[in-house]
Amino acid sequence: ETGVTQTPRHLVMGMTNKKSLKCEQHLGHNAMYWYKQSAKKPLELMFVYNFKEQTENNSVPSRFSPECPNSSHLFLHLHTLQPEDSALYLCASSHTTGGGVDDEQFFGPGTRLTVL
Amino acid sequence: SQKIEQNSEALNIQEGKTATLTCNYTNYSPAYLQWYRQDPGRGPVFLLLIRENEKEKRKERLKVTFDTTLKQSLFHITASQPADSATYLCALEDSWGKFQFGAGTQVVVTP
């Protein structure tokens, strides 16, 4: 496989469930990102990892918990979500972070999450 | 606070014409500005990057301009085709690599 893959593509969960989103990149990049995209709103950056270390957390509620075991894999663990958390969750990767022409981001297809 | 504005109204354009999209920003000093294309149900795809010291960049039928005085970027699709129909996002990146996206403008090209 090439590029950035995400699983599952669709997820429906109740507010008491615990689930995880998975992202894998096959591009040899060192930086990975989680974004939330709600209808008619800009992409909201949630978390940034660079060389497996979290470098950015944009005041994301603790019910979202990221995990980056290595530079190729990124998880988003979900628990006790709210209906307003329903959105498209996008994973992206780039060569690195810190400013530069290599910071073009490659996105996965996203996970469409619905919280009932 | 930092703000990126893209026209929220869809741009309807006839095939063969030039589509022009705007991206305005305030309270931001971007080092780079990027444009992405997003199709429904899919992740954004990178199109072009322009640096703060560049005025214009071209790639095939795409042209981007960047005016740091006006705090504005224009994105042009020349000889537009129905396959160009999508939402186009601008993204600003500062010198420290901090990214911020606009909400995007939908383009609809009709035959």
Give B58-80 pLDDT, tens digit per residue: 999 999 999 999 999 999 999 99
Confidence of residue B16 (pLDDT cuts 50, 70, 90): very high
Query: Which is nearest to A115 in space by CA: A33, A15, A10, A35?
Result: A15
- Please state the rounded mean pLDDT for residues B6-30: 94
Which segment of A43-47, A86-90, A98-102 scores lowest on mean pLDDT? A98-102
- Return the DSSP state at B1: -
Q: Are the beta carbons of B23 and B32 closer than 8 angstroms?
A: no
Residue B2 is predicted with a pLDDT of: 79
**How far is A84 from chain B, CA to nearest CA, in Å?**
18
- Interface contact flag, B32 A101, Cβ < 8 Å: yes
pLDDT at A41 over 90: no
- Measured CB to CB, residues of chain A less than 8 Å from chain B are 4, 33, 40-43, 45, 56, 90, 92, 97-101, 103-110, 112
Confidence category of residue A102, pLDDT binned at 50, 70, 90: low
Q: What is the pLDDT of residue A1?
A: 54
pLDDT band at B41 (very low <50, low <70, confident <90, very high): confident
Is the predicted pLDDT of residue B93 greater than 90, yes or no?
A: no
Tell me if B86 sits within 8 A of B38, measured CB to CB: yes
Contact A33, A92 (CB under 8 A): yes
- The region that residue B16 occupies, defined by phi over 0 for left and psi between -120 and 50 for alpha, beta otherwise, is left
Nearest Cβ partner of A109 from B42, B89, B104? B42
Q: Which of residues 71-100 of B touch A (CB under 8 A)?
A: 89, 91, 93-100
Subunit contact B104:A45, Cβ cutoff 8 A: no
Instruction: For residues A16 and B65, give the distance between their C-alpha atoms in angstroms, rounded to a whole number.
Output: 48
The reported pLDDT for the residue numbered A96 is 80
